[in-house]
């Protein structure tokens, strides 16, 4: 056992008193939000063993949401979005192996092998493998000028294209696609969004919000094409010059951005026999099907406790952070229930700030507060008179109130919430 501690030995001693055992060595595979949070939370839990974090990218770990929002410094992009300062890892005794991804795991021997050939043993293993972009499968999709946006290097390339171009076609009307389109418009480019669904952000928001956002983006100069599919990326002078739609129309552009979702990275997990259901199956404590192995972030799905055989995935920084904290609790044998929070998401699309909390799938009543056409409104979703979720557009006060309310188990008076002359806080049931 390493003698290194973090915030004193009190919590560790209490864990030992309850019969907990703490691994000597933890390896974290993945250096994104989830991986870094696992390592940090282990030290918060007074874990005193060795922690080794392997990451695919050579950059210091960084915040990913700014990649699609234009918040990068042109001279030092990593410094402008770094997750932790360089001294953070040294001070906590966390060994960072960046640009050296794990390529093999020997579960029985308890060791990982990296691309450089380094072998590191473990008693506890955390998988924070993240996800890969879903690629466009049409002729011409591999041409120069077809861009994806998943990591810092992608964002740097996108910013260069934005500075040098006059027009872009964005394939996909989800968060990433719409944020890229808004970024293009703010840079003065002509932007066209092609979405095969009949509404924008169909996997994430209700049809009303999706429809309103189509109108709002059009009002800001984006050409939004719904119910249209790309069948080809056409070439001019050896690079992408636009797309061909399923009705035969050619939409010309200087480059193409593809944002059609992500796929959980599960190859290593499959190889060592973990349970997989689209992603790595975990429980509420981020434990996988194998003792001593936890997982967190976009590579996971969480098994439903109420519906047998059903699992859900949540691709958000908030979920990755929460799962990571619970993964660290499981690895360090912290006594008590895992942390639970109502899920929430957000997206900045130019001057449109969308914030969502809770769910809406089973809602039997909807209340709209504000005029959607104004770009400033909230939609509340109720089940049997109890608020279960909300979508807020440029209404951060409503979002903060509803997020706290849902996490505290409170609710809203439906009738009072329909009176838009009253502040929403006056509709809270005491």
Rounded-to-integer distance, Cα 316 and Cα 175, Å = 11
Rounded-to-integer distance, Cα 285 and Cα 337, Å = 8
Q: What are phi and psi of 14, to 5 degrees?
A: -65, -40
First CA to last CA distance, the chain:
50
The first and second tokens of residue 352, run together, are: 């449109």
Nearest to 185 by CA among 221, 233, 160: 221
Q: How far is CA 57 from the centre of its chain?
A: 17
Q: Which H/E stretch holds residue 209?
A: helix 207-219
- Buried b / exposed e over 165-196, threshold 16 CB at 10 Å, is bebbbbbbbbbbbbbbbbbbbebebbbbbbbb
**What pLDDT is stored for residue 243 in this prediction?**
99
Q: What is the DSSP string of 146-160?
A: EEE-SSHHHHHHHHH
* 3-class state of residue 224 by DSSP: strand
Residue spans per domain, the chain: 10-132+263-331, 146-260, 351-427
Total Cβ atoms within 10 A of residue 198: 12
Nearest to 143 by CA among 253, 237, 238, 230: 238
**What is the pLDDT tens value at each position of the chain, 430 positions in all?**
232 333 333 333 333 333 334 458 999 999 999 999 999 999 999 999 999 999 999 999 999 998 988 766 666 677 789 998 879 999 999 999 999 999 999 999 999 999 999 999 999 999 999 999 999 999 999 999 999 999 999 999 999 999 999 999 999 999 999 999 999 999 999 999 999 999 999 989 999 999 999 999 999 999 999 999 999 999 999 999 999 999 999 999 999 999 999 999 999 999 999 999 999 999 999 999 999 999 999 999 997 655 555 557 778 899 999 999 999 999 998 877 888 889 999 999 999 999 999 998 889 999 999 999 999 999 999 999 999 999 999 999 999 999 999 999 999 999 999 999 999 999 999 7
In this structure, the strands spanning 255-258 and 146-148 are parallel
What stretches of 145-299 adopt beta strand conformation (E)?
146-148, 167-171, 190-195, 222-226, 230-236, 239-245, 250-252, 255-258, 262-264, 276-277, 279-282, 293-295
The four Cα atoms 177, 178, 179, 182 give a dihedral, to 10 degrees, of 130
In this structure, the strands spanning 124-127 and 25-29 are parallel
Instruction: Give CA separation, 383 vs 82, 108, 252, 359, 386, in Å.
Output: 41, 48, 46, 10, 5
Rounded-to-integer distance, Cα 241 and Cα 250, Å = 10
Nearest to 27 by CA among 265, 327, 279, 318: 327
- CB-based contact 78:101 (threshold 8 Å): no
Rounded-to-integer distance, Cα 213 and Cα 197, Å = 14
Total Cβ atoms within 10 A of residue 106: 13
**What pLDDT is stored for residue 17 in this prediction?**
38
CATH fold group of domain 351-427: Enolase-like; domain 1 (3.30.390)
Total Cβ atoms within 10 A of residue 96: 23
Angle subtended at Cα 163 by Cα 65 and Cα 201, rounded to the nearest 5 degrees: 40
In this structure, the strands spanning 262-264 and 131-133 are antiparallel
Q: Which CATH class is domain 10-132+263-331?
A: alpha beta
**Equal CATH topology for 146-260 and 351-427:** no
- CB-based contact 243:225 (threshold 8 Å): no
Nearest to 179 by CA among 356, 350, 318: 350
CATH fold group of domain 146-260: FAD/NAD(P)-binding domain (3.50.50)
Rounded-to-integer distance, Cα 197 and Cα 200, Å = 7
Instruction: Give CA separation, 19 vs 15, 50, 333, 335, 359, in Å.
Output: 7, 21, 9, 9, 38
In this structure, the strands spanning 376-383 and 386-393 are antiparallel
Residue 306 backbone class (left: φ over 0; alpha: ψ -120 to 50; beta: rest): alpha
């Amino acid at each position: 056992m390493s003698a290194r501690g973090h915030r004193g030995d009190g919590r560790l001693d209490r864990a030992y008193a309850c019969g907990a055992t703490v691994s000597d060595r933890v390896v974290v595979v993945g250096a994104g939000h989830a991986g870094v949070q696992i390592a940090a939370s282990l030290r918060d839990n007074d874990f005193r063993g060795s922690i080794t974090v392997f990451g695919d990218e050579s950059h210091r770990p960084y915040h990913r949401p700014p990649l699609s929002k234009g918040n990068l410094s042109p001279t030092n992009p990593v410094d402008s979005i770094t997750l932790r300062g360089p001294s953070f890892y040294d001070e906590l005794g966390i060994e960072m192996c960046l640009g050296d991804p794990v390529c093999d795991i020997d579960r029985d021997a308890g060791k990982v092998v990296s691309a450089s050939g380094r072998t590191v043993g473990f008693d506890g293993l955390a998988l924070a493998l993240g996800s890969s972009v879903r690629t466009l499968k049409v002729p011409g999709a591999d041409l120069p000028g077809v861009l994806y946006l998943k990591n810092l290097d992608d964002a740097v390339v996108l910013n260069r294209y934005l500075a040098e171009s006059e027009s872009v076609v964005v394939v996909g009307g989800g968060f990433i696609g719409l944020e890229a389109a808004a970024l293009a418009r703010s840079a003065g480019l002509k932007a066209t969004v092609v979405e095969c669904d009949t509404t924008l952000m169909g996997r994430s928001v209700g049809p009303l919000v999706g429809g309103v956002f189509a109108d709002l983006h059009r009002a800001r100069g984006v050409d939004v094409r719904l119910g249209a599919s790309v069948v080809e990326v056409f070439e001019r002078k050896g690079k992408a010059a636009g797309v061909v739609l399923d009705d035969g129309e050619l939409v010309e552009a200087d480059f193409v951005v593809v944002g059609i979702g992500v796929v959980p990275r599960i190859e290593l997990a499959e190889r060592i026999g973990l349970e997989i259901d689209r992603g790595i199956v975990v429980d509420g404590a981020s434990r996988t099907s194998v003792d001593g192995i936890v997982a967190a972030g976009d590579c996971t799905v969480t098994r439903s406790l109420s519906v047998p055989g059903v699992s859900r995935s949540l691709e958000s920084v908030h979920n990755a952070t929460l799962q990571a904290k619970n993964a660290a609790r499981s690895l360090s044998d912290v006594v008590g229930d895992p942390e639970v929070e109502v899920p929430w998401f957000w997206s900045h699309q130019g001057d449109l700030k969308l914030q969502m909390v809770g769910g809406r799938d089973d809602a039997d009543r909807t209340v709209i507060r504000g005029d959607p056409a104004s770009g400033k409104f909230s939609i509340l979703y109720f089940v049997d008179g109890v608020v279960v979720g909300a979508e807020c557009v440029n209404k951060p006060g409503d979002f903060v109130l509803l997020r706290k309310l849902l996490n505290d188990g409170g609710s809203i008076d439906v009738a009072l919430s329909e009176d838009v002359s009253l502040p929403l806080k006056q509709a809270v049931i005491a």
